[in-house]
Chain A
Amino acid sequence: MAKLEILTYPDERLKQVSESVEVFDQALRDFIADLEETMRAGPGGVGIAAPQVGCFQRIAIVDVSSKPKIEHHGRLVLINPEIVEYADFVKGREGCMSVPDYTGNVMRPDRITLEYFDEHGAQHTLQTSGFEARAIQHEMDHLEGLLFLDRLVSRRNDLFRRKVYQ
């Protein structure tokens, strides 16, 4: 196991779209072990995606179980994940190990249904919501070459609009 180097913005490689995983072998599982070690070494990191360490394959890990009082599914290894249903957009604040010293508000669906493969090639369907759903979507954005910076919404005026309706 080895901790990997995390690419940080504005590294152009973070914009690269990742390829689907085709082979579920020991090399894949060894890489996932390194990716997980890298995630857990980060301060407060609850997820990581392979492109953050320069591997452009559709692999992410999410584990929000360290957060108190939330529903979660423990350690999730997500390979070739696809969101098949989503609902209820909500705003939440996000940060990223690839974007140090900055956090911002992002709108995302609060509830998602996800299909993915695990590291042994078994297919799963998962329904989740809240913090875990946000973390999963944040990681899936990395697979598309997107950062939360691409989805920022204003911190201001999110409750009342200035416009007069009459």
Chain B
Amino acid sequence: MAHWYIVSVVGKDRSGIVAHLSSALFENGCDLGEASMMRLGDCFTIMMMVRHDGNTHSLLQVVQPVAESMGLHVHVDKVDAHLHRHLEPDVHITVHGADRPGIVAQVTGALCEAGLNIVNLESDVGGSDAKPIYVMHIDGIATAGVPALESALAIVSKQGVQAKLNPIEIMIA
């Protein structure tokens, strides 16, 4: 019986990673679900839902040869996952500042205490080696309301980062 797995792939970036992996999966009867694929540093990273009629070992046999041929590491987890389970975030938070250790821990720690459930987080380091800047985008659900999150961000902002919260109004028509 087909089951959902999450396949993680990491390795040095080069062209053709997505095309080769997805072809191998398709040719072996697998379906892809939701996926996140992006370049982090000069590595390419993939996390994708794969529906496979077999077990973890048989899925690894599909993915591993093609991954290893491109110098990539693979990890497979069998998961109790389903499609059409999106949670809609109601706040978007942008954080930026001079890069330093601890920004994510401080900001997300304060937001967690104030009731934020993170749905999506993406961060980047820009600027230069001499003056790096950290930029983070968070989409989340304000389970304890927006004012609690704004209070948390006001405290965080005194520690040298700029943080801005915008409610997400989803227009459904």
Query: With A and B bound together, what is the CA distance between A47 and B172 in angstroms?
Result: 7
Classify chain A: how many residues form its interface, as a range. 20 to 34
- Contact indicator A135/B169 (Cβ below 8 Å): no
- Please name the residue on chain B nearest to A42 by beta carbon: B172
Total of A-B residue pairs, C-beta within 8 Å:
62
- Contact indicator A139/B170 (Cβ below 8 Å): no
B32 to chain A, nearest CB (A): 16
- Contact indicator B124/A92 (Cβ below 8 Å): no
Q: Name the A residues within 8 Å of B137 (CB-CB).
A: 156, 158-159
Question: 9 interchain pairs (CB within 8 A)?
Answer: A42-B172, A44-B170, A44-B172, A95-B172, A131-B169, A131-B171, A135-B173, A159-B135, A160-B135
Give chain B interface residues in 47-106, CB to chain A under 8 Å: 84, 86, 88, 94, 96
Classify chain B: how many residues form its interface, as a range. 10 to 19
Interface residues of chain B: helix, strand, loop or mixed (majority): strand
Q: Name the A residues within 8 Å of B172 (CB-CB).
A: 42-46, 94-97, 103
A101 to chain B, nearest CB (A): 5
Question: Interface readout for A142-166 with B: 1 if CB under 8 Å, 0 if not?
Answer: 0000000000000111111010000
Is A93 close to B, CB under 8 A? yes
Given A93-B170, A155-B120, A160-B96, 11 more pairs with CB closer than 8 A:
A44-B170, A45-B173, A95-B172, A97-B173, A134-B171, A138-B171, A139-B173, A156-B122, A156-B137, A157-B124, A160-B135
Query: With A and B bound together, what is the CA distance between A67 and B94 in angstroms?
Result: 24
Q: Name the A residues within 8 Å of B168 (CB-CB).
A: 93
Is B126 close to A, CB under 8 A? yes
- Pick the residue among B94, B124, B126, B173 that contacts A46 (CB under 8 A): B173
- Contact indicator A159/B173 (Cβ below 8 Å): no
